[in-house]
């Protein structure tokens, strides 16, 4: 699978370009003693900053574990950071800075719309990009030439799981609400398809809006018994408006959501004087982790980090990238990309970077299963296996896991 460039077949201009590229990436030679650079591009500030902390912390933890196990092909890994500020324009400037530093791979961005806005630039630079939180369907068929892959499950499987939960709980007349970006609109589209005739109202809102009275009015007028809300930090204000309009569980309107709604601190932005305000809210989310101690480890290592949303997935992004480079015996992204899916499927299971590297050195094929669980990445770089936990908020508006859906090849079944 390894590709060899034959300089005799290259025209002069192409040869010059190849030699220039080689000079620019010489610091990433296997065993050369120079650092291999992993960039991260995360929302450390802005409207989605609630995600940034866990994504950055997990990336740094993964790099620490990689380096403690000997690095990649004898080279230490260096982290180069960038803040998207939750804004595509800022992210475009930040990605330019990362690319100018010669990063082998970019971890991020945690926002589907932002990542999609950067993909053409990343692909044209021949740089790898892996996200533990980008869920939009558009990535599956995007012409990324294999440079983009993800450990976050696409909206397709999550929508099947959420729709199944809503039906199992007796939802008959549903409003599906989402922010107007690739993440929100994509998941709403899939929910609408999976819920069919049960959908009585569909509302897409402007993420920058300052009032949700009109959107909540449409829910009220549709006389629904269930609401699926897909958003980010602005959900607190949205739910607050629902509460003010008596669209609550106590009044016969069941609220559902996905990962972003499953927050133990969301109640503070809904009604800080009533910790029970979200009692009974339900949804699906990625399970806590397959590694019971992972979240405790990352929270303990990062003072001030309140939650570890998508941390396991982003951690696995970095580990999979490093394992693919090891399997490829190269840190050239154009070569490494062809080994990414292979290290997640079809071989002997291993659960840590050190153990997986040892297996590769022994000549074995591997199937890495990290803290976010098995991925079995498709050729398009999508997880084909997923497990979603179901949850309900208790009387203190804290998330309590109470079941699960196991999904594979487009089908989800409930389990315990």
pTM: 0.81
* Residues belonging to the chain: 416
pLDDT of residue 25: 41
Strand partners, 120: none
Instruction: With beta carbons less than 8 A apart as the criterion, state whether 391 and 163 touch.
Output: no
Compute the average pLDDT of residues 346-352: 95
DSSP string covering 121-171, please?
HHHHTT-EEEESS---GGGTT---TT-EEESSPPHHHHHHHHHHHHHHTT-
What pLDDT score was predicted for residue 409? 76
Instruction: Assign 13 a pLDDT band (cuts: 50, 70, 90).
Output: very low
Where in the chain are the domains? 29-153+292-368, 155-283+386-415
- The secondary structure of residue 72, as a DSSP letter, is B
- Asked if 407 and 388 touch (Cβ cutoff 8 Å), the reply is yes
| pLDDT above 70: residue 7 | no
Identical fold at 29-153+292-368 and 155-283+386-415? yes
DSSP annotation of 31: T
- Return the CATH number of 155-283+386-415, one of 3.40.50.2300, 3.40.50.1110, 3.30.2130.30, 3.40.800.10: 3.40.50.2300
Q: Provide the pLDDT for residue 288.
A: 64
Higher per-residue confidence, 183 vs 280: 280
The confidence band for 202, taking pLDDT boundaries of 50, 70 and 90, is very high
Confidence at residue 145, expressed as pLDDT on a 0 to 100 scale: 98
Cα-based distances in Å from 183 to 41, 169, 174, 190, 385? 17, 25, 20, 11, 20
pLDDT at 196 over 60: yes
pLDDT at 28 > cutoff 60: no
Q: What is the mean pLDDT of the chain?
A: 90
Tell me the average pLDDT across 169-195: 94
Q: What percent of the chain has pLDDT over 90?
A: 75
Residues 228 and 391: their CA atoms lie apart, in Å, by 14
- pLDDT for 38 equals 99
What is the structure's pLDDT at 185? Answer: 92
Look at residue 271 and give its three-state secondary structure: coil
pLDDT for res 179: 93
Residue 68 pLDDT exceeds 90: yes
Fold category of 29-153+292-368 in CATH? Rossmann fold (3.40.50)
CA-based torsion, 99, 184, 152, 149: positive or negative: negative
Residue 107 pLDDT > 90, yes or no?
A: yes
* Residue with the two structure tokens 């009044």: 251
Q: What is the pLDDT of residue 308?
A: 87
* 383, 389, 392, 398 alpha-carbon torsion, rounded to 10°: -80
pLDDT beyond 70 at 26: no
Quote the pLDDT of residue 42: 97
DSSP strand pairing (36-42 vs 105-108):
parallel
Instruction: Write out the two tokens for 94.
Output: 């930040």
């Amino acid at each position: 699978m390894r590709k060899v460039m034959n300089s005799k077949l290259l025209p002069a201009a192409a040869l010059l370009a190849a030699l220039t590229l080689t000079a620019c990436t010489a610091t990433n030679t296997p065993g050369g003693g120079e650092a291999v650079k992993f960039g991260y591009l995360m929302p450390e500030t802005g409207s989605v900053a609630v995600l940034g902390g866990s994504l950055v912390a997990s990336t740094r933890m993964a790099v620490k574990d990689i380096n403690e196990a000997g690095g990649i092909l004898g080279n230490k890994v260096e982290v180069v950071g960038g803040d998207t500020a939750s804004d595509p324009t800022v992210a475009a400037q930040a990605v330019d800075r990362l690319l100018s530093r010669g990063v082998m791979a970019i971890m991020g961005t945690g926002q589907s719309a932002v990542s999609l806005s950067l993909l053409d630039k990343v692909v044209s630079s021949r740089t790898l990009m892996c996200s533990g939180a980008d869920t939009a369907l558009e990535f599956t068929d995007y012409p990324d030439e294999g440079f983009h892959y993800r450990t976050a499950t696409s909206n397709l499987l999550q929508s099947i799981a959420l729709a199944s939960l809503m039906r199992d709980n007796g939802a008959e007349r549903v409003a599906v609400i989402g922010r107007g970006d690739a993440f929100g609109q994509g998941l709403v589209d899939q929910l609408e398809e999976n819920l069919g005739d049960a959908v009585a109202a569909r509302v897409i809102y402007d993420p920058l809006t300052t009032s949700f009275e009109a959107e909540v009015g449409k829910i009220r007028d549709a006389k629904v018994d269930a609401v699926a809300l897909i958003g980010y930090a602005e959900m607190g204000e949205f739910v607050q408006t629902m509460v003010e309009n008596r669209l609550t569980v106590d009044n016969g309107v069941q609220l559902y959501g996905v990962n972003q709604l499953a927050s133990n601190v969301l109640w503070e932005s809904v009604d800080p004087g009533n910790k029970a305000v979200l009692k009974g809210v339900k949804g699906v989310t990625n399970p806590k982790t397959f590694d019971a101690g992972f979240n405790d480890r990352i929270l303990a290592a990062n003072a001030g980090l309140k939650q570890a949303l998508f941390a396991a997935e982003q951690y696995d992004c970095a580990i999979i990238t490093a394992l693919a480079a090891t399997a490829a015996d190269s840190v050239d992204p154009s070569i490494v990309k062809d080994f990414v899916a292979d290290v997640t499927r079809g071989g002997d299971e291993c659960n840590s970077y050190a153990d997986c590297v040892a297996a590769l050195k022994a000549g074995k094929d591997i199937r890495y299963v990290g803290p976010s669980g098995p991925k079995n990445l498709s050729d398009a770089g999508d997880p084909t296996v997923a497990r979603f936990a179901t949850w309900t908020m208790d009387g203190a508006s804290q998330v309590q896991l109470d079941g699960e859906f196991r999904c594979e090849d487009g089908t989800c079944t409930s389990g315990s």
